[in-house]
Amino acid sequence: MSERIYIFDTTLRDGEQSPGASMNTGEKLRLATQLEKLGVDIIEAGFPAASEGDFEAVSQIAKRIRNAEVAGLARTSKADIDCAWGAIQHAAKPRIHTFIATSDIHLTHKLRMGREEVIAAAVDAVRYSRTLTDNVEFSAEDGSRSDRDFLCRVFEAAIEAGATVVNLPDTVGYAIPEEFGQLVKYVMSHVPNIGKAILSVHCHNDLGLATSNTLAALGAGARQAEVTINGIGERAGNTSLEEVVMALHTRPNFFPMNSGIRTEQIHPSSRLVSMITGIMVQPNKAIVGANAFAHEAGIHQDGVLKNPMTYEIMKPETVGLSTSRLVLGKHSGRHALRTHLKDLGYDLSDEELQLVFSKFKELADKKKHVVDEDLEVIVTEGILRTAETFKLEYLHVTCGTTVLPMASVQLTVNGRSVRGAGYGNGPIDAAFESIAKLTGTEAELLRFSVSAITGGTDALGEVTVRLRENGLIALGKGADPDIITASAKAYINGLNRLEYLKHHPVNRSEAL
């Protein structure tokens, strides 16, 4: 009989610590709803004490989510714990997640505390949390670099104080799978009361070993995996949900465990995270990359045609990639659009549907067929986008081999229409220069990338930019059949995200 593995998704908390991945409350709510549909057991909705915006987002998610547990992160301080509880108290299944570092390097240089002080802080935090809820998780930050015996003492004390889950993080991605598995076994055998709690692991991917370390830990006795969609997170990212889940699903002979995840929702969840954050999934990414189920080599193609299992260890349908796709056109109606959007994971209100339908018709007049990726872009631009301080009204570009590139732009800035023009080294540079003058931004363009969302000469072009201003970094994304327009949209989206960050600062000083 297979054992149950609990999936703790921290895309909305640790995943949001990816540079430029900050989300607004509406975006977080939509992603949380998708995570619940995916079947995750616990949604870590955020760090309520970090900012008013984070508190509000966690609070709204707690009120919306009914099936999954909703966790709020807190340091081992009464103020943090009160803030976390204030945000999650209306959840159907609330969880307080409190943490403190346990490695000597953190104790000496960051906390400036002794070991006994750390144990006392952990115990006090867990005990106080238990007065608010009986669902309390304790994490030993930088656990993989902590003294083993001290780590076990901290876990024993936290469980005695009432922790129902104790989490062992590989905070800096330093562990090696064999080493990490041995550490988990050591904890399981040297914490006398470990049977009263679930042991969790939270791995980072600095050495590209997050998934391997997590699987080694599960094999050694851990029963909760802390993960993110697409593996997003600070630095090199976190353990990828899709990789862990599909490893368990594909190799039950090696891992006699089940996660309860609805695997057919993996690809829609991945695409939604990419759409919201603007962080593109690399084509060769396991499970959800564009090339994950693509075969170009003749020998591979021949084998797959004869029997897909010759070169595919998973069926595309298992992760939500359907081989039969409904193609919509300009004659398609609202009902067909609503039905297909529901199949893609978007349950829109009548007002939202009307907005998407109008944009769908505009695109259908330009393209013969509108496919799933096009629809997802429309939903992102129409519904999920950050509140717009700046909005593109008009763009005209002149360029050519004998013409100096020039762009004329009209924007709405805080509800007021402004216009201007500028020159550049090319049409996109000219458009960016004109927009920068009108918005007064001093943002630095760190990255510019463009890709075709679908095949064909009428494909939507998707542009991603990364901007930096006064230490803040934001990603912008735009799509349009005209690549220059798509670039302008991406640049403006990035500027809007910068404006959002200026007014909703995110505290990124703490991480597991």
Task: Looking at the structure, tell me whether residues 149 and 126 fall in a common domain.
Answer: yes
Averaged confidence pLDDT in the chain: 89
Task: Looking at the structure, tell me whether residues 355 and 466 fall in a common domain.
Answer: no
Task: Looking at the structure, tell me whether residues 196 and 222 fall in a common domain.
Answer: yes
Q: How confident is the model at residue 302, as a pLDDT?
A: 55
* Total number of domains in the chain: 3
Position 307 in a domain: no
Residue 497, domain CATH: 3.30.160.270
pLDDT tens digits, residue range 376-431? 777 766 665 656 799 999 999 999 989 999 999 999 999 999 999 999 999 999 99
Q: Where are the alpha helices (DSSP H) in 199-349?
A: 210-220, 241-250, 266-277, 298-306, 334-343
Q: Between 278 and 86, whose confidence is greater? A: 86
Between CA 237 and CA 221 the distance in angstroms is: 24
- For residue 453, pLDDT over 90 is answered with no
- For residue 326, pLDDT over 70 is answered with no
Residue 95, domain CATH: 3.20.20.70
Position 78 in a domain: yes
245, 277, 309: which is the final residue of a domain? 277
Position 294 in a domain: no
pLDDT tens digits, residue range 107-127? 999 999 999 999 999 999 999
384, 409, 435: which is the final residue of a domain? 384
261, 277, 293: which is the final residue of a domain? 277
Task: Looking at the structure, tell me whether residues 215 and 243 fall in a common domain.
Answer: yes
Position 284 in a domain: no
Global pTM reads 0.83
Q: How confident is the model at residue 455, as a pLDDT?
A: 62
Between CA 14 and CA 170 the distance in angstroms is: 13
Whether residue 98 contacts residue 132, with contact meaning beta carbons closer than 8 Å, is answered with: no
Nearest to 228 by CA among 282, 261, 270, 169: 270
- Please give the residue range of the domain that contains residue 409: 390-503
Q: How confident is the model at residue 457, as a pLDDT?
A: 61
pLDDT tens digits, residue range 114-167? 999 999 999 999 999 999 999 999 999 999 999 999 999 999 999 999 999 999
Going along 432-483, which residue ranges are E strands? 444-452, 461-469, 472-480
